[in-house]
């Protein structure tokens, strides 16, 4: 697959979890419009991979490692959250647009630089739990998606329970990422909120205060379940 894409670089990559045991990979050699009807745009390749044990993270790592990612400008993940964003997508140095559907759990950590203190604490915690951590996740100098300028969050849950906010909720972690030293001198350009859950005008106002532009479709769906 890599050989067939060397002459015509991959510009758009879409990874979708179609059900509990399948992943769909699609790639285009053009940057697709954000609101295009993609079913009418023939991809350069389409790959369906079945996982008998639901090991989606392993499949994503294996497939992406076989693709030339350095020219990808647009990445869409639908129902997919890699275990280590920095390991899986570190080759996407030209990515400018990121579209996340249904889940965005790993995004805040992927965009936040790790301090040396946190790095040591994380190593110690992993060692105590006898878990393996990649160098990408611990490397405080690795800047993932250095050219990223647009994030669309679609059908993502911002709080587990809207009336009982926690520091572990996506909203809190995403705010911290947007306020991190990575964006200290230049606010993140554009966050687009579409059909999300447990998000209202208060959250929109907060995000507008920490990014250059935050657009929202105005839909409000509050509750502890989708």
- Could you tell me the residue ranges of all domains in the chain? 2-216
% the chain with pLDDT above 70: 81
pLDDT for 112 equals: 87
pLDDT for 181 equals: 83
Residue 155 has pLDDT above 70, yes or no: yes
Q: What are phi and psi of 179, to 5 degrees?
A: -100, 0
pLDDT, tens digit, 9 for 90 and up, residues 172-222: 999 999 999 889 889 999 999 999 999 999 999 999 999 999 999 999 999
Of residues 1 and 57, the one with the higher pLDDT is: 57
Give just the sign of the alpha carbon dihedral 194, 58, 137, 186.
negative
Task: Spell 166-190 as b/e; 16+ CB within 10 A means b.
Answer: eeebbbebbbebbbeebbeeeebeb
Average pLDDT over residues 60-76: 95
pTM for the model: 0.86
Average pLDDT over residues 71-97: 94
**R_g of the chain, CA atoms, integer Å:** 18
Q: What are phi and psi of 210, to 5 degrees?
A: -120, -5
Of residues 143 and 15, the one with the higher pLDDT is: 15
How many Å apart are CA 55 and CA 105, to the nearest integer?
Answer: 17
């Amino acid at each position: 697959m890599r050989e067939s894409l060397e002459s015509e670089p991959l510009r758009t990559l879409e990874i979708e979890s179609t059900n509990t045991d399948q992943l769909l990979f699609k790639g285009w050699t053009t940057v697709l419009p954000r609101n295009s009807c993609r079913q009418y745009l023939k991809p350069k390749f389409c790959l369906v991979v079945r996982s008998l044990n639901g090991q989606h993270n392993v499949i994503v790592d294996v497939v992406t490692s076989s693709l030339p990612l350095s020219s990808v400008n647009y990445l869409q993940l639908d129902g997919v959250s890699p275990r280590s964003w920095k390991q899986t997508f570190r080759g996407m140095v030209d990515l400018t647009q990121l579209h996340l559907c249904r889940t965005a759990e790993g995004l805040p950590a992927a965009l936040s630089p790790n301090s040396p203190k946190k790095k040591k604490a994380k190593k110690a915690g992993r060692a105590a739990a006898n878990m393996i951590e990649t160098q990408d996740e611990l490397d405080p100098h690795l800047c993932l998606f250095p050219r990223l300028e647009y994030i669309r969050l679609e059908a993502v849950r911002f709080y587990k329970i809207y009336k009982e906010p926690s520091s572990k909720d996506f909203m809190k972690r995403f705010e911290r990422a947007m306020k991190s030293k990575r964006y200290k001198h230049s606010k993140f350009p554009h966050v687009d909120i579409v059909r999300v859950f447990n998000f209202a005008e208060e959250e929109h106002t907060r995000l507008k205060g920490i990014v250059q532009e935050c657009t929202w479709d105005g839909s409000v769906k509050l509750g502890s379940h989708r």
